[in-house]
């Protein structure tokens, strides 16, 4: 159970000052907690900028475009009958110059009362020069000396949602800070010392009540402290889960490798060295008593599927079953169709199981899995269901990992006793980040690609040259080519994405008629499959798609990839998309259509894509560019799965967090050392509850 000390933080945010029945929903939306935001969410909602009110210039020296706070005397009220549209103006001056305060749609009586002629006031706001006149439109503050004394010199600026105001969020955050319990330090003294980190509470306080803009800088000490806490909780959780999964000692799958050799012989190619090396690593795990928890990392097209199939064959030869799980129906079906003929040649019985099987089929598959008559099953998350029982599951393969979290890994592994686990991902991850995402696993990498791949010609073109593109496409289609046309991401709205894709498909249909197919994320599963199949068979020759084709889809005959609004995609995403072509014998090309003008980062992205097809290099560059994006002021949210840690800024902390976690977690999965108690607190604070529960007893 969560320590009761933390209860105040997990109480509803609605109890905080400034949050009432009216705006509670807005906070839920802002904090992305539809079931109700908690105090913790408010506390962890950090400002991304500041308003610096420290400048106290004389009026003459005040710099236009900056926020200034100055003392002045009111000399004149101008215009503005209460119903008139003209703004009401107040002229103020000090001994060096004057400023016009401008109020639109304000009640003049109210303004006059706050700023009576002859009175001296402190004014704070953004000064602008308008036709040579110094102006402040709606000053942020009008204060007397006493109020000035209470003015925070630097104000936090929070990300907002429509209907919420800075001051409301700031007030709630202040209330949340007051509920922060005293907790013991969980970070090692050496780390605190070396990185000069403040304490946890101190860091949160510095960010919510900044005294200088540096206090909210992602690379500053306060943000670094919180990122480190998060990375430490992440590493602890991964190590605890790793220990738990290894706790039931694995089983040795004893096989001579006959089935594997038969499979290899049936392949129309020979394995690459990288594939062989990965297989050796996997075989060693399978044959040992140790439970395998391994990640197979390989770029698109590096040949992971064959490696997995041979591994599954080994396990079957040892008398056990294997399961392969894919994130979508399309991919599960594709895996099945590609593997089944090979498996047949090696005498392996394989079946497909998805959420759409007919009941009779499903019953039959289930019975065969339970009896052991079936050796290998390929499917979607349907494989998780309670009703799926294996006679003896020895190996679970999970494809395209990034859609499966730690929880799913645990659930699938729980299907068999000490089931070995092989996770495959086609998202190359920079070495520095592997620990953050897969720190509970051993890693095999396929860096080399199968020989004979032709380079993909990559070009970028402004959308204005669409006609040329269509003309080129017409010529290519006449020669039998097949093309993907990827439609833009519209402000992360799936509905708008779909509309854009439908529009593009409509426009292309008016030129190419029935040769145009469409597939998008909002389509029902069977329709999606049908659209993919028509393209696979060549019934349609242009497939207009949203990014649903990004992961894994394999149509070797497709040689053209057109990406519309390429400037809206990330580097790794573009690389994944490009990886959909260049899979067959034909020469392939990738055309990045952009809407200019391109920023520096977008230009750099396109340059890198043109320069290399090495996904690992691209991933490293992506990370570097994101880092630079930050320097240029373009803010990024935290990395996937992280609230505070931005890997382009904080990746350097991961190794240290790992070492610190290793010292605290015993091989048998207990938290040890003087900080064990506070580390458990850390796990709960960062909501690594699954991991925290593993050490409940300890």
Q: What does the binding site for ligand ADP look like in residue numbers (CB under 6 A)?
A: 269, 271-272, 275, 298, 300-306, 426, 450, 554, 583
Binding residues for Mg ion restricted to 181-200, rule: CB under 5 A: none
β-partners of residue 90 are 77, 101
Closest residue to ligand ADP, judged by C-beta, is: 303
638 interacts with, out of ligand ADP, Mg ion, none, CB within 5 to 8 A per kind: none
Q: Per-residue b/e over 464-501, b at no fewer than 16 CB within 10 Å?
A: eeeeebeebbeebbeeebbbbbbbbbbeeeeeebbebb
Minimum distance, C-beta of residue 153 to ligand ADP, in the bound complex (Å): 55
Binding-residue pattern over the window 538 to 557 for Mg ion, x denoting contact by CB under 5 A: --------------x-----
C-beta closer to ligand ADP: residue 300 or 486? 300
Contact 622, 570 (CB under 8 A): yes
Minimum distance, C-beta of residue 631 to ligand ADP, in the bound complex (Å): 34
275 interacts with, out of Mg ion, ligand ADP, none, CB within 5 to 8 A per kind: ligand ADP
Residues 6+ apart with CB under 8 A from 86: 79, 80
3-state SS track over 590-639:
EEEEECCCCCHHHHHHHHHHHHCCCHHHHHHHHHHHHHHHHHCCCCCCCC
Give counts: helices (H), strands (E), the chain. 26, 22
C-beta closer to ligand ADP: residue 229 or 554? 554
Minimum distance, C-beta of residue 176 to ligand ADP, in the bound complex (Å): 46
> Exposed, middle or buried: residue 336 (CB in 10 Å: 0-12, 13-18, 19+)?
buried
C-beta closer to Mg ion: residue 208 or 528? 528
Rounded CA separation 280/274 (Å) = 10
Q: Per-residue b/e over 626-656, b at no fewer than 16 CB within 10 Å?
A: bbebbeeeeeeebbeebbbbbbbbbbebbeb
Contact 213, 53 (CB under 8 A): no
Minimum distance, C-beta of residue 554 to ligand ADP, in the bound complex (Å): 6
Cα(first)–Cα(last) distance of the chain, in Å? Answer: 12
Minimum distance, C-beta of residue 580 to Mg ion, in the bound complex (Å): 11
Q: Where are the beta strands (DSSP E) in 389-498?
A: 393-399, 420-425, 442-446, 457-462, 482-486
578 interacts with, out of Mg ion, ligand ADP, none, CB within 5 to 8 A per kind: none
C-beta closer to Mg ion: residue 428 or 552? 552
Minimum distance, C-beta of residue 430 to ligand ADP, in the bound complex (Å): 18
C-beta closer to ligand ADP: residue 213 or 584? 584
**Distance from chain centroid for Cα 370:** 38
C-beta closer to ligand ADP: residue 240 or 346? 346
Give me the phi and psi of 269, to 5 degrees please. Answer: -145, 170
Helix ranges restricted to H, 196-272: 200-208, 221-247, 258-266
C-beta closer to ligand ADP: residue 246 or 333? 333
Minimum distance, C-beta of residue 342 to ligand ADP, in the bound complex (Å): 9
Rounded CA separation 461/401 (Å) = 33
> Exposed, middle or buried: residue 407 (CB in 10 Å: 0-12, 13-18, 19+)?
exposed
Minimum distance, C-beta of residue 298 to Mg ion, in the bound complex (Å): 8
Minimum distance, C-beta of residue 365 to ligand ADP, in the bound complex (Å): 24
C-beta closer to Mg ion: residue 233 or 297? 297
C-beta closer to Mg ion: residue 163 or 341? 341
β-partners of residue 135 are 100, 128
Minimum distance, C-beta of residue 325 to Mg ion, in the bound complex (Å): 12
Minimum distance, C-beta of residue 448 to Mg ion, in the bound complex (Å): 16
Vertex 143: Cα angle to 138 and 148 (nearest 5): 125
Minimum distance, C-beta of residue 448 to ligand ADP, in the bound complex (Å): 9
Q: Which two tokens stand for residue 675?
A: 């900080």
C-beta closer to Mg ion: residue 40 or 263? 263
291 interacts with, out of ligand ADP, Mg ion, none, CB within 5 to 8 A per kind: none
Residues 6+ apart with CB under 8 A from 257: 283, 314, 317
Closest residue to Mg ion, judged by C-beta, is: 552
439 interacts with, out of ligand ADP, Mg ion, none, CB within 5 to 8 A per kind: none
Is the dihedral angle over the CA atoms 432, 438, 441, 445 positive or is it negative? negative
Binding residues for Mg ion restricted to 346-375, rule: CB under 5 A: none
Q: Which helix (H) or strand (E) holds 542?
A: strand 542-545
C-beta closer to ligand ADP: residue 301 or 416? 301
Minimum distance, C-beta of residue 458 to ligand ADP, in the bound complex (Å): 19
Q: Per-residue b/e over 274-292, b at no fewer than 16 CB within 10 Å?
A: bbebbbebbbebbbeebbb
C-beta closer to ligand ADP: residue 139 or 428? 428
Looking up tokens 């900056």, which residue turns up? Answer: 66
C-beta closer to ligand ADP: residue 319 or 450? 450
Residues that bind Mg ion (CB under 5 A): 552
């Amino acid at each position: 159970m969560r320590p009761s000390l933390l209860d105040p933080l997990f109480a509803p945010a609605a109890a905080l000052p400034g949050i009432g029945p009216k705006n509670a929903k807005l906070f839920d939306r802002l904090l992305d907690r539809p079931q109700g935001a908690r105090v913790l969410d408010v506390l962890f909602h950090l400002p991304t900028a500041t308003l610096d009110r420290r400048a106290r210039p004389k009026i003459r020296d005040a710099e236009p475009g900056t926020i200034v706070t100055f003392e002045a005397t009111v000399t004149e009220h101008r215009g503005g009958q209460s119903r008139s549209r003209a703004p009401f103006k107040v002229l103020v001056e000090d001994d060096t110059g004057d400023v016009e305060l401008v109020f639109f749609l304000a009640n003049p009586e109210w303004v006059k009362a706050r700023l009576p002629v002859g009175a001296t006031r402190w004014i704070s706001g953004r000064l602008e020069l308008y036709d040579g006149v110094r102006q402040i439109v709606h000053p942020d503050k009008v204060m007397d000396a006493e109020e000035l004394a209470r003015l925070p010199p630097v104000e936090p600026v929070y990300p907002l949602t429509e209907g919420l105001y800075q001051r409301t969020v700031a007030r709630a955050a202040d209330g949340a800070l007051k509920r922060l319990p005293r907790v013991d330090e969980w970070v090692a003294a050496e780390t605190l010392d070396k990185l000069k980190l403040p304490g946890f509470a101190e860091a949160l306080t510095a960010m919510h009540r900044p005294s200088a803009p540096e206090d909210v800088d992602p690379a500053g000490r306060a943000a670094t402290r919180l990122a480190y806490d998060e990375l430490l909780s992440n590493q602890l959780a991964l190590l605890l889960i790793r220990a738990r999964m290894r706790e039931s000692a694995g089983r040795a799958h004893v096989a001579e490798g006959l089935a594997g050799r038969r499979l290899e012989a049936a392949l129309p190619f020979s394995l690459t060295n990288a594939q062989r090396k990965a297989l050796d690593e996997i075989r060693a795990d399978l044959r040992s008593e140790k439970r395998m928890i391994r990640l197979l990392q390989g770029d698109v097209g590096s040949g992971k599927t064959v490696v997995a199939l041979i591994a599954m064959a080994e396990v079957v030869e040892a008398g056990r079953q294997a399961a392969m799980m894919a994130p979508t129906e399309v991919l599960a079906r594709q895996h099945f169709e590609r593997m089944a003929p090979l498996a047949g040649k090696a005498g392996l019985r394989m079946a497909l199981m998805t959420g759409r099987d007919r009941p009779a089929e499903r019953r039959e598959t289930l019975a065969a899995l339970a009896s052991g008559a079936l050796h290998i099953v390929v499917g979607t998350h349907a494989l998780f269901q309670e009703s799926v029982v294996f006679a003896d599951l020895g190996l679970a393969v999970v494809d395209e990992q990034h859609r499966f979290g730690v929880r799913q890994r645990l659930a699938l592994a729980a299907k068999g006793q000490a089931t070995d686990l092989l996770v495959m991902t086609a998202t190359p991850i920079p070495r520095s980040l592997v620990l953050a995402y897969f720190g509970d696993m051993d890693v095999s990498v396929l860096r080399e690609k199968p020989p004979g791949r032709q380079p993909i010609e990559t070009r970028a073109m402004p959308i204005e040259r669409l006609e040329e593109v269509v003309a080129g496409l017409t010529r290519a289609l006449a020669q039998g080519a097949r093309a993907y046309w990827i439609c833009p991401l519209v402000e992360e709205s799936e509905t708008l994405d779909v509309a854009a894709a439908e529009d593009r498909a409509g426009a292309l249909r008016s030129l190419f008629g029935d040769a145009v197919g469409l597939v998008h994320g909002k389509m029902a599963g069977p329709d999606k499959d049908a659209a993919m199949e028509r393209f696979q068979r060549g019934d349609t020759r242009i497939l207009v798609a949203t990014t649903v084709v990004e992961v894994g889809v394999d149509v070797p005959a497709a040689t053209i990839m057109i990406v519309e609004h390429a400037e809206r995609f990330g580097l790794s995403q573009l690389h994944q998309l490009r990886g959909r072509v260049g899979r067959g014998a034909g020469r392939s090309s990738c055309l990045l259509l952009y809407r200019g003008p391109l920023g520096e980062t977008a230009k750099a992205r396109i340059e890198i894509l043109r320069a290399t097809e090495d996904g690992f290099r691209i991933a490293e560059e992506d990370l570097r560019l994101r880092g630079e994006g930050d320097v240029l002021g373009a803010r990024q949210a935290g990395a996937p799965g992280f609230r505070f840690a931005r890997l382009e800024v904080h990746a350097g902390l991961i190794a240290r967090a790992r070492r610190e976690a290793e010292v605290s977690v015993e091989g048998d999965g207990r938290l040890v050392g003087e900080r064990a108690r506070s580390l458990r607190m850390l796990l709960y604070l960062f909501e690594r509850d699954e991991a925290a529960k593993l050490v409940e007893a300890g």
